[in-house]
């Protein structure tokens, strides 16, 4: 067990503290809800206080039993927890119902952060394969996005949500919407790992006091089948990472997490078996400048979540989701 108060925090734009590392809770279509709940219970005992949940992970009811149990037995106080959830793409027109269900299932009274999970209302069924398409899918719309966001702003004024998060955004989409929001987003959750660093996006967020939260911080070796392509690179097997890990006598996973922290990114690794070691990455010695540079040089544009299942009729291919030429496709 790690003494929770020794884990450093990041500060959000409004001064609120958020633990510098959190626990992911997406079972990647492979780990059943009970097993994820078991990991969250172990994570709480190990010292985690930040949990990255989502309506579409299909396990918030099981995680809620764990949170309620820990609160009831006095193992933790509600104000010590930082519980995040996300509105799934099929609920953009009824955010309140989605948030109220998440709060009810998580048994947490309010959410410390509620994210718009994807900036499109395009949804796919759980366990779908890479060729699955929803004919109702649409390209990004500034007015639909800002309307979804406005609904979360209302939840903030009702006291049900403390901070607003956005996810899977790009610089052009941020440019299009940021000036139209009453409450500033506190964080942006996005794919970030050594082989996919999104330096421009990270710098853009930091310059605007929006905390970058890195999902798949280890390169998600057990991600869903639909997100695996033969040309994908395995982050944790990169020789530079293996070499640095050997020096510190830790697994390369720990170096991925330490690197994220030192570049000002909050990582949310998922783990059933290694969560305590992951938390300890926040307390290990600092990587040297040279090690940070060696890891920076692993960047190779290896986006793992291409998002094919969110494509709309008429879209060219998954690159259209990510505005790579600096304009919003649609």
Ligand X SMILES: NC(=O)c1ccc[n+]([C@@H]2O[C@H](COP(=O)([O-])OP(=O)(O)OC[C@H]3O[C@@H](n4cnc5c(N)ncnc54)[C@H](OP(=O)(O)O)[C@@H]3O)[C@@H](O)[C@H]2O)c1
Taking the least distance from each CB to ligand X, the nearer of 40 and 103 is 40
- Verify whether residue 57 is a known catalytic residue: yes
Tokens in use for 244?
């640095």
Q: How far is the CB of 298 from ligand X (least distance, A)?
A: 15
Work out how close the CB of 221 gets to ligand X at its nearest, in angstroms, rounded to a whole number.
5
Beta strands in the chain (DSSP E): 9-11, 17-19, 23-24, 50-52, 82-87, 111-116, 161-167, 187-191, 211-215, 266-267
The dihedral built from the CA positions of residue 315, 319, 322 and 324, taken in this order, carries a sign that is negative
Locate all alpha helices (DSSP H) within 158-251, ordered by sequence: 171-177, 199-207, 239-248
Contacting positions for ligand X (CB under 6 A): 24-26, 28, 52, 117, 167-168, 189, 215-223, 251, 253, 268-274, 277-278, 305
Name the catalytic one among 13, 48, 57, 149.
Answer: 57
Note whether 123 and 87 are within 8 A (CB): no
Contact 160, 106 (CB under 8 A): no
Structure tokens at 98: 């989605």
Closest separation in Å from C-beta 320 to ligand X = 17
Q: Which residues contact 225 (CB under 8 A, 6 or more apart)?
A: 29, 129, 130
CA distance 112 to 213: 14
Q: Which residue, 106 or 268, has its beta carbon nearer to ligand X?
A: 268
Which CB sits closer to ligand X, 220 or 238? 220
Written as six digits, the tokens of 147 are 């309307």
Q: Which is nearer to ligand X, 287 or 289 (CB)?
A: 287
Which residue's Cβ lies closest to ligand X?
A: 24
Q: How far is the CB of 284 from ligand X (least distance, A)?
A: 12
Question: 196: which strand partners?
Answer: 193
Q: Quick one: 73 or 210, whose CB is closer to ligand X?
A: 210
Nearest-approach distance from CB 273 to ligand X, in angstroms: 4
Catalytic residue numbers read 57
């Amino acid at each position: 067990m790690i003494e929770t108060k020794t884990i450093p925090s990041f500060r959000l734009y409004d001064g609120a503290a958020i633990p510098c590392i959190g626990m992911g809770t997406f079972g990647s279509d492979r780990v059943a809800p009970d097993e994820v709940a078991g990991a969250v219970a172990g994570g709480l005992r190990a010292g985690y206080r930040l949990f990255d949940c989502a309506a579409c992970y299909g396990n918030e009811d099981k995680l809620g039993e764990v949170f309620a149990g820990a609160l009831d037995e006095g193992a933790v106080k509600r104000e010590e927890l930082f519980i995040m959830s996300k509105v799934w793409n099929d609920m953009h027109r009824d955010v309140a119902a989605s948030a109220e269900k998440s709060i009810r299932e998580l048994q947490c009274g309010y959410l410390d952060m509620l994210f718009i999970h994807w900036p499109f209302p395009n949804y796919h069924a759980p366990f779908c394969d890479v060729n699955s398409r929803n004919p109702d899918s649409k390209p990004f719309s500034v007015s639909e996005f800002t309307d979804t966001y406005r609904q979360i702003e209302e939840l903030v004024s009702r006291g049900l949500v403390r901070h607003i998060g956005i996810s899977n955004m790009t610089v052009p989409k941020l440019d299009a919407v940021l000036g139209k929001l009453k409450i500033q987003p506190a964080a942006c959750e996005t794919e970030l790992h050594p082989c996919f660093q999104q330096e421009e996006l990270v710098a853009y967020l930091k310059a605007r006091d929006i905390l970058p939260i890195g999902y798949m911080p280890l390169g998600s070796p057990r991600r869903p089948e639909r997100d695996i392509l033969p040309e994908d690179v395995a982050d944790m097997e990169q020789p530079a990472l293996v070499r640095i890990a050997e020096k510190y006598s830790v697994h390369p996973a720990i170096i991925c997490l330490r690197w994220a922290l030192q570049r000002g990114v909050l990582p949310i690794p998922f783990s059933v078996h290694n969560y305590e070691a992951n938390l300890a990455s926040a307390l290990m010695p600092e990587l040297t400048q040279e090690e940070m540079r060696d890891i920076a040089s692993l960047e190779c544009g290896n986006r793992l979540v291409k998002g094919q299942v969110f494509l709309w009729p008429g879209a060219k291919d998954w690159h259209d989701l990510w505005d790579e030429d600096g304009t919003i496709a649609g």
